[in-house]
Amino acid sequence: MSNPGSCTLQIHRASSENFAATANFGGTQLEQRLGRARPDKMPPFPPQQGWARGTFLPLHNPLAGGELGPQGEMELTWQEILSISELQGLEMPAESCYDPALCSHAQPMVPPPSYGPCTEMGDCSISYSHPAPAYERPFPETLPGPCTVYSYTGMLISSSLEPPGPAILGECKGAPGMVLERDLASCYGPQGPCKPQEDLESDSGLSLNYSDAESLEAEGLERAEYAPLYPMDHAPPYPMLPPVPELPCANPPLEHSLEKGRSPRGELVGSRDERRALAMNIPFPVEKIINLPVDDFNELVTRFPLSEPQLALIRDIRRRGKNKVAAQNCRKRKLETLVHLERELEELSCERQRLLQDRGEFNRTLALTKQKLGALYHQVFCMLRDEAGNTYSPEEYVLQLAADGGVFLVPRNNQPDNPSD
DNA sequence: GTCTGATGTCATCGG
DNA sequence: GTCCGATGACATCAG
């Protein structure tokens, strides 16, 4: 007889192991994923945008002793502005903001040759401290309220997440960061930022790919001509935290923080949604937006006076985050189902082989038993004699086994229908 | 350049 | 009708 235990089950583990290594679940992995910056994985810009492509220029932090060149500042500014500009569902004009003339609500612009530090930055606790860049860049003449407003967002981001603001800014809370945040804020009017026409992806009005800041980082696009196009005259509608004091920055140059989406300490910069939330001044972390239960989430949302664009972004972030986890779980289940079915197939195949072997064994045993029974039958039949000592004819008589074990010789024409009776 | 796996996202469906 | 999870389909990217 075959041994079922000898059947080797060949379980296809490759896919499941691979999955286990790649499909992460739970908050930690989700955070890792959310925090993963993939600047080199973003799709290229649509050619119609006509953005000049340049090389990725090193960025330097002036407070760290380096020099934040114009390109470096542009990188910073663009990184955030594009994460803003990709937001959809914002009540913004459909025209592309790449044409300054289309941003009619923008504050008067300083002519390009006058590009330099914002003149109103002097009112801010954090000032634009490095020298004016040598290149030209239009900048709004008038600025909104205190720039401390724009320092708040980074403070609000959960401590459990990467602090996007400082990370993006090379963890320097000094002038470059403030300039960036002011630039970001300047991108919003009451209807939100001007938005490229190409950004029409999310069903709730969020752009997903083209203008992602990570792709900009990766491709080193020149951004200065777009960054200052948004007006800078509206503060977020919710209370702001005190301004972030200007601190000397002893961190590595920003080029390190932007390269490969990592901070100078090698930490992952916030995810795209985190940067969106940062740019939109969402006063709570993406982690909470995604992971909070419905009731807690609703309570959290109602706790802050959020604008419609902010609510749309929050709902989109939550939906995408939930769906991301759901997709991961779905794929995990699919792989587990596949592995289970493969294992079941192997087991059933082995069972079939075992049953076939059993059947062969049984057939051989049956044939042997029949052969032995026939021989025994013939032997017994031949030993029987009638009163005259003659043998019985096999054509006329048969031997039958009674229920009590007795053997009877009966004529064939007297055989009962059921021999066992 | 092509192929493949991983991943994110969207659309859709069903509970 | 709305919400939300599940899942197929698609796009993108990396190796």
Q: CA of A217 vs C1' of B1, distance in Å?
A: 26
- A200 Cβ partners below 8 Å, 6+ apart? A88, A207
Whether residue A80 contacts residue A278, with contact meaning beta carbons closer than 8 Å, is answered with yes
- Nucleic acid strand C within 7 Å of A322 CB: yes
A232, A252, A83: which is closest to A167 by C-alpha? Answer: A252
Residue A294, CB, less than 7 Å from strand B? no
Is the C-beta atom of A272 closer than 7 angstroms to strand B? yes
Query: Do A60 and A258 form a contact (C-beta atoms < 8 A)?
Result: no
- Residues of chain A falling short of pLDDT 50: 1-268, 419-421
CA A160 to C1' C3, in angstroms, rounded, equals 28
Supply the pLDDT for residue A357.
97
Q: Return the closest nucleotide (C1') to the Cα of A209.
A: C12
Per 3-state DSSP, chain A is made up of helix, strand and coil in percentages (nearest 5) of 50, 5, 45
**What pLDDT score does A270 carry?**
65
A327: CB within 7 A of chain C nucleic strand: yes
Query: Which nucleotides on strand C sit less than 7 A from a protein beta carbon?
Result: 3-9, 11-14
The answer to whether the beta carbon of residue A327 comes closer than 7 angstroms to any atom of strand B is yes
Answer yes or no: is A208 CB < 7 A from strand B.
Answer: yes
Residues in chain A: 421
DSSP annotation of A225: T
Instruction: Extract the tokens encoding A19.
Output: 């999955």
| pLDDT for position A335 | 85
Nucleotide nearest to A317 (CA to C1'): B9
> What contacts A362, CB < 8 A, 6 or more positions away?
none
Q: Which three-class secondary structure state does DSSP give residue A408?
A: strand
Look at residue A370 in the predicted model and tell me its pLDDT: 94
Nucleotides of B under 7 A from a protein CB: 5-11
Looking at residue A10, its pLDDT comes to: 33
Find the Å distance, CA of residue A82 to C1' of nucleotide B15.
Answer: 39
| The two structure tokens encoding residue A1 | 């007889």
Nearest nucleic acid nucleotide to A44, CA to C1' distance = C12
Q: Residue A44, CB, less than 7 Å from strand C? A: yes
Q: Which nucleotide is nearest to A19 (CA to C1')?
A: B6
Please tell me the predicted confidence (pLDDT) of residue A214: 38
Residues A61 and A67: their CA atoms lie apart, in Å, by 5
